[in-house]
Amino acid sequence: MSSFFFYIFAIILVLASLAVVLARNPLYNVLSLVVVIFALSSLFMILEAFFVGIILSLVYAGAVLVFFLFVVMCLNLSTPTLTTVQQNRFQLLGWLAGLMLLAEFFLATKAFLAAQAMQPVSEIRGTIEAIGKILFADYLLPFELTSLLLLIAIFGIVSLAKGALKTQ
């Protein structure tokens, strides 16, 4: 049963990823990216990486993509009013996203209860403790290099922003 959901969410992920790249309207790009994040989060749930799936949904779909959507809407790209067909498409996408969220919740609950019944509490995969042990024991160097790379990127963005402000 979980392989069925895996393929469903994988197909949704691929189609929504194509929509992110191929859509001409930036608003459609961001909304498609929200669907991508929920589908990817669902895949992590199916693979019993509960913490990663929930954090992906909360942080990226709940914060970062909402910020992207806010920025795109503040740009006021003067998109024409939506036709009835476009409104129906958005309504269909909204229902699809809601059903994906409901399926994700169902799969997470089912997998968590099954894992809890089959294994002792200390051996459950996908918990914060298990991820912390792996991250800070086996993958400490890549983790630190990634944080250094992000710090360098922040410095680059700040210097570019200062240069752009000086030219105005």
Return the half-sphere exposure (C-beta side, CA atoms, 13 A cut-off) of residue 3. Answer: 0
pLDDT of residue 48: 79
Domain ranges, ordered by start, for the chain? 2-126, 128-168
Higher-pLDDT residue of 91, 71: 91
Residue closest to 36 by CA, chosen among 51, 23, 24: 23
pLDDT of residue 160: 73
Q: Which of 155, 156, 131, 153 is nearest to 143 (CA)?
A: 131
Unique residue bearing structure tokens 């498609």: 32
Q: Tell me whether residue 52 is exposed, middle or buried, using C-beta atoms within 10 angstroms of its C-beta: 0 to 12, 13 to 18, 19 or more.
A: middle
Instruction: Give the integer Cα–Cα distance in Å for 31 and 68.
Output: 10
Cα–Cα distances (Å) from 1 to 46, 51, 110, 124, 159, in that order, read: 10, 22, 11, 21, 51
Phi-psi region of 76 (alpha: psi -120 to 50; beta: other; left: phi over 0): left
- Cα–Cα distance measured from residue 17 to residue 37, given in angstroms and rounded to the nearest whole number: 10
pLDDT at 15 over 60: yes
Distance CA 34, CA 40 (A): 10
* Model confidence pLDDT, tens digit, residues 39-86: 998 898 888 788 888 888 888 877 777 777 777 777 666 555 667 887
For residue 38, give every residue at least 6 positions away whose Cβ sits within 8 Å of its Cβ, in sequence order, or none: 57, 61, 97, 100, 101, 104
Is pTM beyond 0.75? Reply is no
Percent of the chain with pLDDT over 90: 5
What number does CATH give the domain 2-126? 1.20.120.1200
